[in-house]
Amino acid sequence: MKLSALSARAPKKLDKEHTKTETAMLIARIAELQKVLYAQRHYSLLVILQGLDASGKDGLISKVFQGVNPLGCDVKAFKAPTEEELEHDFLWRIHRHTPARGMIQIFNRSHYEDVLVPRVQKHIDAKELKKRFDHINAFERLLEDNNTVVLKFYLHISREEQHERLLERKNNPKKFWKHSDGDWETRKKWSGYMKAYEDVFTHCNNPEWKIIPADQNWYKEYLAAMHIVSALEKLKLEYPKAAKPR
């Protein structure tokens, strides 16, 4: 798969307002399904969000999960590993935050950072990269064997749109807090990250990655909500029956 061959925008014939209406209905459906998921406590859902800087991970979380009960949903943003985390295997800090039964857990970045950043910065070689792919595949199988549904979203932003959004972070006072000079340095390695992601999609594709065009927020939110609803509706969700009186 070549990311450069994939559009980061919605199909031209797609009606924006109709799609936004559909998204609202999907968001409401997620809230309904989450209530049963939380009450039943048999399954859990892990949503993994990956994407380059300014691809809209934060915005997707706040929009798509706005109706869920906070008691049954948690978000973890993974940044550069701490000194303590570096003393352990690369999955140690991840496994601690996987969802308990009944919960929805959202990862804003994830264990995939450990096969992206070190590779592009040439901190690991091909042999170590292969080992990490294998460990990730085994880790995700373990989660699925424990009734955790794993959804993996790559937010596919174009280079042009990312440039506009990074500029906005510098020029819009309400977005100053998002600005980082490091994002511009990472942008210089665009081709390296594209190749790294393409290899991730090849070697760690079970469960399958969902490539989400991310240049238009309304379309990105629609696709993510649609996939989440579809995954939850495939489960045998039902409210627990009342206990029989003694």
Main-chain dihedrals φ then ψ at residue 146, nearest 5 degrees: -100, 25
Radius of gyration of the chain (CA): 19
Cis ω before 240 (30° cut-off from 0): no
Q: How confident is the model at residue 51 (pLDDT cuts 50, 70, 90)?
A: very high
**pLDDT tens profile 94-137:** 999 999 999 999 999 999 999 999 999 999 999 999 999 999 99
Structural domains for the chain: 17-233 (3.40.50.300)
pTM: 0.96
pLDDT for residue 211: 98
d(CA 136, CA 171): 39
| Positive or negative torsion for Cα 140, 141, 144, 150 | positive
**pLDDT tens profile 146-175:** 999 999 999 999 999 999 999 999 888 888
Give the up-direction half-sphere exposure of residue 190: CA atoms within 13 A in the CB hemisphere.
12
pLDDT for residue 246: 72
d(CA 155, CA 51): 5
- If you average pLDDT over every residue of the chain, what do you get? 96
Cα 221 to Cα 24, 78, 150, 155, distances in angstroms: 10, 21, 18, 10
